Chains A and B, each alone.
Chain A
Amino acid sequence: MDQVLPVLGGLFILVYATLGIVAWRRPLLLRFAARESTRRPGQFALLVVGLMVGSTSITASLVAAESFTRSTANVLNQRLGAVDLTVTASGGRSFSQEVAQRLASDPALSPYVDGVQAGIEVPASVTDLDQRLGKPGVLVVGFDPASQKRFGAYALADGRRTYGTELASGDVLLSSALATALDAKPGDRLRISSGTAGSTIDLRVYGTAVARGPGTYGSYFAVFVPLATAQRVTGDTGVNVVRIAARGGNATDLEAARRAVSPLRAAVARIPSGSPLAVNEVRVDAAQQLEIGTNYVLGTTLAVSMLSVLAAIALIVNLVLALAEERRPRLAVMRALGLTRTGLVQLAVLEGAIYSVAAAAAGIAMGALVGLFLASQLWAYALIDPTAQPFLGFALQPSVRPVTLAVAFATGALVTLGTVAGAAYRTSRMAIAAAIRDLPEPASAPPQSWWRAGLLVVLGAIGLAMLVPPDPRARLVGGVVLIVTVVALARGRVPDRTRATLAGVLLTAWAAVVAASTPSGSDLGRFMLPLFGAVLITGAGLGIAAAANLRLLDFVLGLLGTRFGRLQATLRPPLAYLSRRPVRTGLTTSAFALVLVLVTLVAVFVAAGQARNYDRDSAGFDVQVVTGGSGPIQLPPEIAREVRAQLTIPMRVYQGPYNGSAFGGAASSATRIFYVLPDEPQLAAPLYLSSRDKRFASDAEVWQAVRNEPGLVIADWGSGLAPGEEITLMGVSGQLHLRVAAGSGSTILSGVVASPATMALIDTRPAGSTILLKTRSGLDPRALAHEIERALYGQGVQATSTHDILDQDYDSGIGYIVEYDTLLHLGLLVGVLALAMVLIRATVERRRTIGILRALGYQPRNVVAGLVTETLITATIGAVTGVTAGLFIGYFLIEGLAPGHLYGVDLARLGVALAIVYGTVLAVTGPLASRAARMAPTEAIRMTG
């Protein structure tokens, strides 16, 4: 945003300064513009409301994305605290504590580093023996109280503060989330069992660290223990991490962290160590992950809001054309008095500048409010994401930066002004004599200049050339350019209706050809862009072809006999108006249709998400039991009797450099859980797969291959990895590439699944195990899960019904989709307003026509019916086109990106959208049409004398 501001700000200043000069040099125009804009305060307010939609939409998406980003950054920075860099050994193994001492005393490092702390970080299961509650997946954070000062004091819930020096041997601090989960109190006996360390020890709760400073470090569920106690957990005297605070660094300063990297690496290289030590740029990694997340959220919200902007542009065009039509006679008088056509455009643009600034100012205020609402919704959905544990406990950090508002203001104002200028240029063409008398514009002969023909031929050649490369984006654009060129060249040679029909049909056919021949995949540029471009062109093409042939309806009514004569008379003018301007109708409907395409897609995705296929996604397992502890889980006999089948999956933890997928990004030091595929032949397909590499004919083949081919893995649902992609990490003998054979379809196991042979290639340590249970029929899995937790609390076991896990997964997925649905409905509302504006324009443009019809005997109800029908037809073309295209694309996407998900439509959601469309159309256009119909015929045709 900060980089965009100078460009946009410069452009804004340039444009408005130029307008200022025009106003200064031509004060008459300024006076006219000012008087026209302020003549009717009600109309001014209405125009500002209409024009502010674009700014509102842009501001809302920017504020939502920035608030979300700021909140995420806050989480990442809080979790890191003062730690900028870490030093670890390969595979997270322990090394001598002396490493930290040597780094702290290294004079070459002291200019760059002012905090060095030896530490231990291991996953474990924790049990409060007094409360009889356990929790797996807890991070044990060992810290050295002697060096804690630089990393901050722990603030305790009872108001005390400590660097850890007061803690006696065996005393620990709990993160506030863990204390809540265990219902722990100071003095409670705590058992920590670490599968990684292979140990189980009993300790005592000293206090609860509030979520501030070092109390937020590492994880939502954490135990903070002095180093000596942590070494009892791991069972050795070493450490497995050295935390480094860069000199002069703070939470947002990446430079200090970057400056310290090279000296630190050099210093680490000077230290002899049993296992190779690596320097990890944890703060830079976090910043990069944040950037990926920011780009994704900003990209999607902006893309969705652009639909609203598109609809808003249609609204602005119609507003300007309606205004120009209303003022046509007096503008013609000014032309007659000597105002040039350029002057007329300048007049409109000067007036537009007044409106655009007022609308942009109002738009950013409204947009900021909408954006904050959207951000709060996004954050709420993010927190229920099963993979969002680090985010838990953090509130949304609203962000409404002046820079963002300035960018939105400049963009909104420039978009409005540009649209006004384009529309003003078009309306400045007028036959002065006819316009003064408010008569229809006489027909003009089709332009026949060689210059125009030459330009069209060049355009056609460019279009043809773009068909050659295989890139679907180029082919799509090339075909469209070619069709438009040919149709433009045929002007005057082929009847308009035939030309419009041909153009519409050819555009639709071409869009379908490109969409069908585009290879599916998640590549936004090569798959999604041509697909959405094809949707847009299909919408326009179908709209144009349908509009050009609406007169057929008139013809059909004529064949039906006398009973339909009055209906034919009522519908004839609206059908004729729509047919005579097929491009205008087509463009209005396509902008509207595009919003409906996405609303339909949401309905398809929600239906896919709502189709809760528990049996399939749980692969028949009813309960998941997780422990981070060292020992094997032995179910008590009374529970084992209730279990029909069980699958024990060892978990291993990887710590080190990791590079996988666009979403996961690259990290110099990441912690990832791997599930080791049990070698049990009866479990041919232990998990449901939602996608698989094309070389496999069935899921069973995938599992077979993963068992037999080292290096082949199954990616977890949340990783964003597609079949065929690679994960790069540190293996036991150097860098290792794992190939994704398939994607898991649920979050029952939220990590990469690999065979024992593959795991042997990766440098990992044990991290407990997950047991999946199939219960006897008729048993409540949730009750069994509680029973298991009660029975095995001493091992820090967490048991959950797979139904509950999947519910959380489903809710989270739908939550994100529904979030964008809010933005889409905003676009839908704008689209409907644009339709209402079309009607306002129609009533303004057709005062004379309405007057003639009334004089000839049209009752007011005929006029109302005609005008409302016209808007309904426009809405219906848009709705039919949009919904049809949405259903088609939805099928395409579900099959291409998420095979196995049930294809369906959330009819209620789609129905609500369509009800909004038709309800608003009727509510807005009904009164407008009724007002137009009440116009006295003599007033409409201005018969005075």
Chain B
Amino acid sequence: MARPTRQFILRVEVPMKPDRSNGSSQLIVQASRLRKVYRGASEVEALRGVDLEVERGEMVAVVGPSGSGKTTLLNCLSGLDRFDGGKVLVDGADLASMSDRERTAYRCRSMGFVFQAFNLLPVLTAAENVEIPLLLQGNGGRQARQRALEMLETLGLAHRARHRPDQLSGGEQQRVAVARALVHRPAVVWADEPTGNLDTEVTQVIVELLLRMNKEGQTIVLVTHNPQVAERAARTVRMRDGRIEAAPASAPAMR
């Protein structure tokens, strides 16, 4: 039997379909005057008053040269990192006012992550990796396993469920990472260079996957260096020296 690689039937459930009928209530991410300073031997201001809004169901690509602050922006918006000034509202929740514990719980509940280096836990199988967010939310083991397997099946990886990351190809690992990011139906999926470690063919597969997820209503914010990936997003935000160079108005329709 041919191994499914590109032809996926997406049945991903997302929290809410994009509803663009009324204005500001559709904003899922709102950042204003966001500042982030790295303090070391000398201070580096990585974000210098960034304003950004992302609508529910939108797919936004953040691009820019190295050191422009893309990943820092993603870290601050997703609650992975603290920021030094400004305000970030995600789905109405103010990240600045949250304690570390609250932000962690919020990430667990409402966010999904896809990293450039896949960042699967090397000692767990694909299914076990995908189950983690569900178990953390308090789902039972059986229920978590069932949903993880469904998600892997959706992404064409059912036959690899019992394999560990080091037994998977790069593309397969990233698809497992995508499954892990989606399995608990987060409000936003944050993807940091999701195709950075992949070849052109597999990059295409992952991009198609993200686009389909977005089409189903999943909000996605991705950071990329790859212009081919960026141009597939509904909106591209360009960064340079910690500032947004150009932020076209939200245009959720996919190309």
Contacts and interface: CB of A to CB of B under 8 A. Distances in A.
Interface of A: 437, 439-440, 442-443, 557-566, 568-569, 572-573, 576-577, 579-580, 848-849, 851-860, 862, 936-938, 941, 943-945
A859 B101 contact: yes
A854 to B, nearest CB: 7
> 10 closest A-B pairs (Cβ-Cβ)?
A857-B108, A558-B141, A945-B71, A569-B135, A443-B166, A562-B140, A576-B123, A580-B123, A852-B119, A440-B122
B90 to A, nearest CB: 14
A847 to B, nearest CB: 12
B189 to A, nearest CB: 12
A943 B75 contact: yes
B144 A943 contact: no
Contacts of A557: 141
Contact of A573 (B74, B119, B124, B141): B124
B240 interface: no
A576 B142 contact: no
B223 A945 contact: yes
Contacts of A564: 140-141
Contact of A852 (B74, B121, B145, B223): B121
Given A558-B142, A859-B101, A944-B72, A576 B113 contact: no
Interface in B92-138: 100-101, 104-105, 107-109, 113, 115, 117, 119-124, 128, 132-138
Contact of A566 (B135, B165, B166): B135
Main SS of the interface on chain A?
Answer: helix
Tell me the dominant secondary structure on chain B's binding face: helix
Interface in B171-209: 180, 192
Contacts of B108: 856-858
Given A565-B135, A569-B135, A944-B71, A856 B140 contact: no
Contact of B136 (A439, A561, A566, A941): A566
A577 B67 CA distance: 35
Contact of A569 (B72, B100, B117, B136): B136
Given A558-B141, A856-B133, A576 B71 contact: no
Contacts of B124: 572-573, 576
Contacts of B122: 440, 849
B141 A568 contact: yes
Which of B74, B128, B132: most chain A Cβ within 10 A? B132
A936 B81 contact: yes
A565 B141 contact: yes
B80 interface: yes
A579 B164 CA distance: 13
Which of A557, A558, A851 has the most chain B CB atoms closer than 10 A to its own CB? Answer: A558
Contacts of A566: 135-136, 138
B143 interface: yes
B69 to A, nearest CB: 7
B25 interface: no
Contacts of A849: 121-122
Given A557-B141, A937-B80, A938-B81, A943 B192 contact: yes
Contacts of B192: 943, 945
A580 B164 CA distance: 11
A857 B140 contact: no
Nearest to B76: A938
With most chain A CB atoms within 10 A of its CB, the pick from B72, B141, B166 is B141
A938 B192 CA distance: 12
Contacts of B133: 856-857
Contact of A437 (B69, B105, B117): B117
A686 B154 CA distance: 87
A19 B10 CA distance: 62
A938 B135 contact: no
B136 A858 contact: yes
Nearest to B109: A857
A781 to B, nearest CB: 68
Given A443-B166, A852-B119, A858 B139 contact: no
B42 to A, nearest CB: 16
Interface of B: 66-72, 74-75, 80-82, 100-101, 104-105, 107-109, 113, 115, 117, 119-124, 128, 132-145, 164-167, 180, 192, 223
B107 to A, nearest CB: 5
Contacts of B66: 945
A858 B119 CA distance: 15
A577 B164 CA distance: 12
B74 to A, nearest CB: 8
Given A443-B167, A569-B132, A569-B135, A848 B119 contact: yes
Given A559-B142, A565-B139, A859-B104, 7 more contacts: A560-B141, A568-B141, A855-B107, A856-B113, A856-B180, A857-B136, A941-B117
Contacts of B74: 943
A851 B132 CA distance: 14
B135 A856 contact: no
Contacts of A938: 75, 80-81
20 contacts: A440-B166, A558-B140, A558-B144, A562-B139, A565-B135, A569-B136, A572-B124, A572-B132, A848-B117, A848-B119, A854-B104, A855-B80, A856-B107, A856-B108, A857-B107, A857-B136, A857-B137, A858-B108, A936-B80, A943-B74
B138 to A, nearest CB: 5
A565 B117 contact: no
B123 to A, nearest CB: 4
Nearest to B117: A439
B14 to A, nearest CB: 18
A860 B67 CA distance: 30
A636 B2 CA distance: 110
Nearest to A581: B123
Contacts of A443: 164, 166-167
B105 A857 contact: yes
B88 to A, nearest CB: 15
A859 B105 contact: yes
Contacts of B81: 936-938
A944 B90 CA distance: 22
Nearest to A556: B141
Contact of B128 (A572, A855, A941): A572
Nearest to B110: A857
A572 B135 contact: yes
Contact of B140 (A561, A577, A580, A943): A561
Contact of B141 (A559, A860, A862): A559
Contacts of B167: 443
Given A572-B132, A938-B81, A943 B71 contact: yes
Contacts of B134: 565
A576 B135 contact: no
Nearest to A574: B123
Contacts of A565: 134-141, 144
Contact of A945 (B72, B80, B142): B72
Contact of B100 (A852, A855, A860): A860
A568 B128 CA distance: 11
A807 B81 CA distance: 69
Contact of A442 (B123, B142, B166): B166
Contacts of B109: 857
Contacts of B136: 565-566, 569, 856-858, 862
B80 A943 contact: yes
A392 B28 CA distance: 88
A440 B164 CA distance: 12
A577 B123 CA distance: 6
A549 to B, nearest CB: 15
A355 B66 CA distance: 41
Contacts of A442: 166
A941 B66 CA distance: 18
Contacts of A558: 140-142, 144-145
A429 to B, nearest CB: 15
A943 B105 contact: no
Contacts of B180: 856
Contacts of B132: 569, 572, 853, 856
Contacts of B128: 572, 576
